[in-house]
Amino acid sequence: MIRVLGIETSCDETAASVVTLDGRSTPQILSNIVLSQIEEHAAFGGVVPEIAARAHVEALDGIIEAALADSGVDLADIDAIAATAGPGLVGGLIVGLMTAKAIAAAAKKPLIAINHLEGHALTARLTDGLDFPYLLLLVSGGHTQIVAVRGVGDYQRWATTIDDALGEAFDKTAKMLGLPYPGGPNVEKAAANGDAARFAFPRPMKGSVQPDFSFSGLKTAVRQAATAIAPLSDQDVADICASFQAAVADALGDRVARALTRFRQQFPDKAEPALVVAGGVAANRTIKATLQGLCEQAGFSFVAPPLNLCTDNAAMIAWAGIERLRAGISGENAADFVPRSRWPLDSVSAPMVGSGRRGAKA
């Protein structure tokens, strides 16, 4: 039996969780506490690093206590502490990693430094018991990536954004149209009453051989359309949102279709290939339906873990700790590990200039 306490503080969620694996049965999430700071940041229309770090300091001790209490497991019976050590906002990372180091030292437990992206990448094995290799589409406020997940610690980034992350594009579009933060759910809600054919927005990168993403041109097109017809009626806002969402789904679908083809070529022996989605944007029904359709066409299964495990949480961090312990690659010197605001999953892929400018959310 392996029991791991996970801690996540890389952006605007303070989270702790206990996950167990007994070797014979499926893994179990014994507790999963997430405190969102959305209200603290809403007035600013985005995450403010200083506010986030302070909020983590205030909340983390209580969240960890609650996660242990909820799980019914004593700290003494925990096998290891797994904490997000990057990428993300460095203030929050310091709070989480230093707290984890202190608990590990006091309780004489090993500490495992986890890459937040690896948490997202391995979640489908916690929820759906997926076998390697599979394809991951991570679409959140800070990242837009396609990753071939080949094994624990073995990732190949096939695509990333060359400018804005997809969630960021939703948030900025919402802000331009006067919709509240976070923008994604509000753009989706407005789009439900809109005419997706009214504006012919660009489909960035559509047709390009590399499956990379770009969303800043689309954002500019939205701004120009909105300025041209201002002041905007509710119907105008709905039509812009619907047209924007259609452009996003179309562009994303084109990029993902390429990645599915490449996966087939690279892993011809994989009997039941799967596409997994992670990140807050995966909540969007239009995007989900597009991806589902592509997967059906290409003979992939489409795996969308429950939304609370798609967005930032500590169960995925605890689980990544279990995966690393099991694979014998938990890292020897985690007590000396320094938080990394940038930490690519795949150190081989060249860094993408201009990507993830906000650099905060993953």
> Which chain residues interact with Zn ion by CB under 5 A?
140, 312, 362
- Looking at the Cβ atoms of 103 and 247, the one nearer to ligand KG4 is 247
- State the binding partner of 170 from Zn ion, ligand KG4, none, CB within 5 to 8 A by kind: ligand KG4
Angle at 330 between CA 329 and CA 332, to 5 degrees: 100
The residue behind tokens 């049965």 is 25
- Looking at the Cβ atoms of 185 and 331, the one nearer to ligand KG4 is 185
- State the binding partner of 141 from ligand KG4, Zn ion, none, CB within 5 to 8 A by kind: ligand KG4
Q: Is 203 strand, coil or helix?
A: coil
Q: How far is the CB of 104 from ligand KG4 (least distance, A)?
A: 25
- Looking at the Cβ atoms of 20 and 284, the one nearer to ligand KG4 is 284
Q: How far is the CB of 324 from ligand KG4 (least distance, A)?
A: 21
Q: How far is the CB of 15 from ligand KG4 (least distance, A)?
A: 11
Q: How far is the CB of 122 from Zn ion (least distance, A)?
A: 13
Q: How far is the CB of 33 from Zn ion (least distance, A)?
A: 17
Count other C-beta atoms under 10 Å from residue 43's C-beta: 9
Q: How far is the CB of 249 from ligand KG4 (least distance, A)?
A: 10
Residues that bind ligand KG4 (CB under 6 A): 11, 140-142, 167, 170-171, 182-185, 188, 279-281, 283-284, 311-312, 361-362
Q: How far is the CB of 2 from ligand KG4 (least distance, A)?
A: 26
- State the binding partner of 344 from ligand KG4, Zn ion, none, CB within 5 to 8 A by kind: none
In the chain, how many H helices and how many E strands? Answer: 11, 10
CA distance 96 to 60: 8
How far, rounded to the nearest angstrom, does the alpha carbon of residue 64 sit from its chain's CA centroid?
A: 22
| Residue of 83, 127, 99 lying closest to 330 (CA atoms) | 83
Residue 213 per-residue DSSP state = B
- Looking at the Cβ atoms of 2 and 276, the one nearer to ligand KG4 is 276
- Looking at the Cβ atoms of 360 and 362, the one nearer to Zn ion is 362
CA distance 31 to 5: 9
- State the binding partner of 204 from Zn ion, ligand KG4, none, CB within 5 to 8 A by kind: none
Q: How far is the CB of 271 from ligand KG4 (least distance, A)?
A: 30
- State the binding partner of 211 from ligand KG4, Zn ion, none, CB within 5 to 8 A by kind: none
- Token digits of residue 225: 């359309």
- Please count the CA atoms within 13 angstroms of the CA of 264 that sit on its side-chain side: 11
CA distance 86 to 114: 7
- Looking at the Cβ atoms of 3 and 143, the one nearer to ligand KG4 is 143
Q: How far is the CB of 338 from ligand KG4 (least distance, A)?
A: 22
Amino acid identity at 153:
G
Which residue intervals of 198-284 are DSSP H helices?
A: 216-229, 234-266
Which residue intervals of 43-182 are DSSP H helices?
A: 49-71, 90-107, 116-128, 166-176
- Looking at the Cβ atoms of 111 and 222, the one nearer to ligand KG4 is 222
- State the binding partner of 85 from Zn ion, ligand KG4, none, CB within 5 to 8 A by kind: none
Q: Is 52 strand, coil or helix?
A: helix
CA distance 321 to 5: 9
- Looking at the Cβ atoms of 173 and 330, the one nearer to ligand KG4 is 173
Evaluated on CA atoms 6, 334, 136, 251, the torsion sign reads positive
| Residue of 55, 113, 123, 126 lying closest to 87 (CA atoms) | 113
- State the binding partner of 259 from Zn ion, ligand KG4, none, CB within 5 to 8 A by kind: none
Check if the beta carbon of residue 136 is closer than 8 Å to that of residue 119. no
- Looking at the Cβ atoms of 89 and 221, the one nearer to ligand KG4 is 89
- State the binding partner of 183 from Zn ion, ligand KG4, none, CB within 5 to 8 A by kind: ligand KG4
